[in-house]
Structure 1
Amino acid sequence: MHRRFKYAWAIAVLVVLPDIVISASAPSGCTGSDDGWFSCDYAGMTQAADRPIDFADFSPAPLALNVYVNGLLPPIGDSQMFSPTFSTLDPASLDPNYHASLTLDCGQFGSIVMYAGVFANMSYIEKLKVRNCMTYVVPANVFQEFSSVDMFSLEGGAIDEVDPNAMAGLEVKPLRAGTHRPPRPQGRFKLLYTRFLAQAMPPGFLFNWKDLQHVSLVGADLKSINGDLFTFNIRLKTIDISDNHFASIPEVLFDGLESLAEVRMANIPWECTCDNAWFVAGALEKNISLRGDFQCADQEMTVAKYYYTNCVEVDMCKGTIGIALLEKCFTMITLLVYGLALVSLVLCAVSLGLIICTLKARSGTGQVRSRVRKGNKVVDLKVKSKSK
C-alpha cells in the first residue's frame, strides 16, 4: 500500500509540476499561454505606465502577439508600442514550427492612425497582419522596423491615405530556406476585403517588393488597375485580383513576370470587347493558368467564347499554303487538281463544239444517201443536197 501511494504521488507531481514551472506570465493588459501565444489590449492601456508593452514581463517569449488597437499608434507622448527590450529576443529561441507573428486587430468598429517608428524593436516578426481596421493614414516608412517579413496580410476594414513611400524599408519575401517542413516560406502579400477608399491601388504600393512571390488583392474595391502595378515584382508566381469592380485589365499587366504560373480573376464584371479579352490568348502564349468564372457583364457568354467567336480568324488551312473558302481549306494540290479538271472540261467542251460544227458543215455541202426498198431488194439512192 505504501509503495502504491508513493507511485501515485510521483505521477501527481509529474502532472502538476509542468504547470507550476512553465506557467505563462504577461504584462498588465495581456494574457497568454505557455506555448508563447499572447493577446494584449493596447487600446485599454490608458495609463502611461502600462506603455510601451514590455518584453521583460513575458514568459515565455512571445511567439505570437495579438494586439487589440484603436486610435493613435502610438498615443500622443509615446514613440513606440513595444519596449526596446524586444530587440534582444533571439528568434532561434522560438518554436521553429511557427512564424513569429504580430496581429493588429481593431475589433468591430475600431480605427487607427499610424506614425513612423511605432513598430520599433520588432524586427524578429515574420508574419504581420492588420485586421478589421479603418486606417486613416499610412505614413512613409511606417513598417521599416520589421525589415522583412514572410507574410503581410490586410483583412477587412478600409484604407484612406497612403504615402507613396509607405512600404519603403519593408521587404516581403520567403524567409526560410527549408521548403519541406513547416512553416514553408511564402513571400506573400494578402489583401482580403480591405477597401481602398480611392478605389485604386496607391501609387508605388508594391514597388519595393522585388522578391514577392504571391499577391492577393481580393475585394479591394478597385475600379481600375494600372499597367505598372506588378512591374517590379518580377518573381511573382501567383496573382489573385478577384472580387473587384474593374471591367478590363491592361495588356501589359503581366509583362516581365517570367515566373507567373497562375492568375485568379473571379467575380469580375468583364466588358467584352476584342481589346479587353486579350488575356485569353495572352495567358495561353505565356503558359499562365487562368482561374475564375470570366463572364461577360452584358452578354450571356464567357470571355473566352466571345473572344474566339468574334475576335479570332480561324486558320482553316492550319499553316498549309492554300485558300480558305466556304469554311474549307483548298490546298495548292487540291487547287491544281481542280484546275486541271476545269481545263479538261473546257477542252472537252471545245472539242465537242468543233465536232458539232464539222458535222454541220459536212451536212451543208455533201451528199445524202438514202435507201429505198423495191420489191425484195433495197436500192441505195444518192441525192445531192441542194445548196441554199
Structure 2
Amino acid sequence: MYFGNCALVLFFTVVTYSNAATFPSGCSYNDLVGSVHLYKCTFGTVSLPLTYSGFNNPLPQWIQITKINGNMNAGSFTGFGSYDTTQLSHDKNPTLQLFCTTGGSLNLQATSFNTMGYIQEVEISNCNVNLPDNVFSPFGTLNKLTISGGTLTLNAGSFSGLTIAPIDKYTDPAGALIIKDLTLSGDFPTGVFSPINGTKTIRLENIGLTSINSSVFSTNIGLHTLSLKDNAIVDTIPTDFFDGLDGLVNFDQTSFLWTCTCDNVWWWPKSVKKGITIHGAAICNSPADVAGMLVTKYYETSCATTSVCGDTIGVAIGTTCLPIGYLVGFGLIFVMLIFCIVSLACICHMKKTALAGPVKKTRKGPPAPGANKRGGEEEEEEEARRKGVPKRKDEEVDGCD
C-alpha cells in the first residue's frame, strides 16, 4: 500500500509538471528522465513562425519539428534571442532537429534560423534539401551539425558565417560535421569546407563518393578525425591529400576500392610517418593477381625497400652500414691527425732554426777607414808565402803581440 501511494504521488507530480508546460498548438511536451526537456512540433499543424514566448516552463532547450515537406521561410523562428541561457540543463546541448516525411523537401533561406543563436546542435534528417549561402550563420558556433538521409545540394557558401568547434559547457564536446547516408547532388563546391576550418571531426559517410579532390580539406588545419567510410572511392587518393592536415590522427577509408600499385599506395607509408591511424581494412580491389590482399601486405612485399642500416641512422656502403657515430668518430680522428702533422712540422722547423745559431749580419755600405790598407797587407803576405820570402821583422814583432 505504501509503494502504491508513492507511485501515485510520483505520477501526479509528473503529470502536474507536464501540464504546467505551455507550448504552441501543434506541439507537445516530453519530459525525458525528468531533466531533458523536448518539445515536438508537427510541420503543417503548428503555425510558423514559432515564437519564443509560446514556450514556457520549461524553456525550449530541445525542439523537434517532424513531418516536414515545404518551406521554412525567413523568420520561421522569432524572439528566441531572448532565451535565458542560465536556465539551460547541462544534460543536453541545446538542439534543433528537422525531420522530413519520406521523400519530403526542406526549403531554407539564409535567414530561416534568425534569433536561434542559443542552439548548439542541429540535425536535418531525411530531407531533400538545398543549403543556401550563410544558412547556418545565425547559429554562430555549433558543437555538432548532422545531415543524414534524403538528398543534399551544397553551395560554395553553405557554411559561411558558421563555426563548428567543441563546446564543453554542456555534454559531448564534439566539434563535428556529419553528412551520411544520403545522395550528394553534384560534387563538393570549391572551398565549401573552408569556413569551418576549426572543425575537429568531419564524417562524410555513404554519400556516393567515387573520387575525392585534395583541395576539399586543404584548409581544415584543425581536423583531428576524417571519415570517408562506405564510399566506393576508386583507384587511389591524390598524393597531396594529407598536406596541411598536420593535426590529423584518424582516417577511415572502409570500403575504398584500392588499385594496388606502388604509386597508388603511397598513403600507407605516409600515414605511418605522420602518425595517422588508418581505420577499416584497406584491401586491394585490383589488379586481379592481388585482389583481396591487404594494402599493408602488398606494400611490404612489392614496394618497400629494406635498407642495410634498417632503423639505424648511417650510410650504407655495399652490404655494410656505417652508423652516424662511426662517421663522426672518423671525422674527429682525421681532424686530429691533420692537427698533429701541422704541429710536428712546426716543431721540426723551430728545432732546425735553434741548431743553426744566430744569423751573421753582413755589413752593407762603404768599407770602414783602413779596411783597404789592411786588405792590401794581407794580399802581400799571401804572395810572399807562395814565393818562400820570410816575414819582415816588424811583422814578426807584430805577430807576437
Is the structural similarity TM-score above 0.5?
A: yes
Question: Structure 2: where are the runs of 5+ without partners?
Answer: 323-401
Give me the whole-angstrom Cα distance separating, in 1, the residues matched to 2:6 and 2:158: 58
* Letter in structure 1 aligned against 2:96: L
Give me the whole-angstrom Cα distance separating, in 2, the residues matched to 1:9 and 1:244: 57
* Letter in structure 2 aligned against 1:302: L
Task: Select which of 253, 258, 261 maps to 2:241.
Answer: 253
Structure 1 pair 196–13 and aligned structure 2 pair: CA distance change class (3 A) = closer
Note if 1:51 corresponds to 2:59: no
Bigger Rg, which one: 2
Question: Where does residue 79 of structure 1 map in the other structure?
Answer: 74
Note if 1:228 corresponds to 2:229: no
Structure 1 pair 321–254 and aligned structure 2 pair: CA distance change class (3 A) = closer
Give the deviation of 1:40 after TM superposition: 0.9
Give the deviation of 1:73 after TM superposition: 2.5
TM-score (norm 1): 0.73
Task: Select which of 19, 24, 29 maps to 1:27.
Answer: 24
Give me the whole-angstrom Cα distance separating, in 1, the residues matched to 2:6 and 2:309: 87
TM-score (norm 2): 0.71
Question: Structure 1: where are the runs of 5+ without partners?
Answer: 324-328, 333-388
Task: Select which of 131, 138, 145 maps to 1:145.
Answer: 138
Give me the whole-angstrom Cα distance separating, in 1, the residues matched to 2:80 and 2:242: 41
Give me the whole-angstrom Cα distance separating, in 1, the residues matched to 2:216 and 2:155: 16
Give the deviation of 1:107 after TM superposition: 2.9
Question: Where does residue 202 of structure 1 map in the other structure?
Answer: 189
**C-alpha contact 2:165 2:175 (8 A) present in aligned 1:** yes
**C-alpha contact 1:73 1:81 (8 A) present in aligned 2:** no
Give the deviation of 1:205 after TM superposition: 2.1
Question: Where does residue 215 of structure 1 map in the other structure?
Answer: 202
Question: Where does residue 316 of structure 2 map in the other structure?
Answer: 321
Question: Where does residue 62 of structure 1 map in the other structure?
Answer: 60
Structure 1 pair 331–315 and aligned structure 2 pair: CA distance change class (3 A) = closer
**C-alpha contact 1:201 1:222 (8 A) present in aligned 2:** no
* Letter in structure 2 aligned against 1:29: G
Secondary structure (helix, strand or coil) at the match of 1:67 reads strand
The number of aligned residues is: 307
Q: Specify which structure has the higher proportion of helix.
A: 2
Give me the whole-angstrom Cα distance separating, in 2, the residues matched to 1:219 and 1:148: 26
CA offset digits 1:284-326 (Å, max 9, x no partner) = 1101111111111122311122222222222245355332xxx
Give me the whole-angstrom Cα distance separating, in 2, the residues matched to 1:219 and 1:15: 44
Stretch moving more, 32-41 or 213-222: 32-41
Give the deviation of 1:262 after TM superposition: 1.1
Give the deviation of 1:201 after TM superposition: 2.3
Structure 1 pair 56–306 and aligned structure 2 pair: CA distance change class (3 A) = same
Give me the whole-angstrom Cα distance separating, in 2, the residues matched to 1:11 and 1:66: 30
Give me the whole-angstrom Cα distance separating, in 2, the residues matched to 1:317 and 1:116: 61
Give me the whole-angstrom Cα distance separating, in 2, the residues matched to 1:297 and 1:11: 61
Structure 1 pair 322–184 and aligned structure 2 pair: CA distance change class (3 A) = same
**C-alpha contact 1:201 1:225 (8 A) present in aligned 2:** no
Note if 1:310 corresponds to 2:302: yes
* Letter in structure 2 aligned against 1:150: N
CA offset digits 1:33-89 (Å, max 9, x no partner) = 2442011112344xxxx2211222223111111112534432xxx53221x221111
* Letter in structure 2 aligned against 1:234: I
Identity among equivalent positions (%) equals 27
Question: Where does residue 156 of structure 1 map in the other structure?
Answer: 149
Q: Cα RMSD over matched residues?
A: 2.5
Secondary structure (helix, strand or coil) at the match of 1:19 reads helix
Secondary structure (helix, strand or coil) at the match of 1:277 reads helix
Structure 1 pair 153–316 and aligned structure 2 pair: CA distance change class (3 A) = same
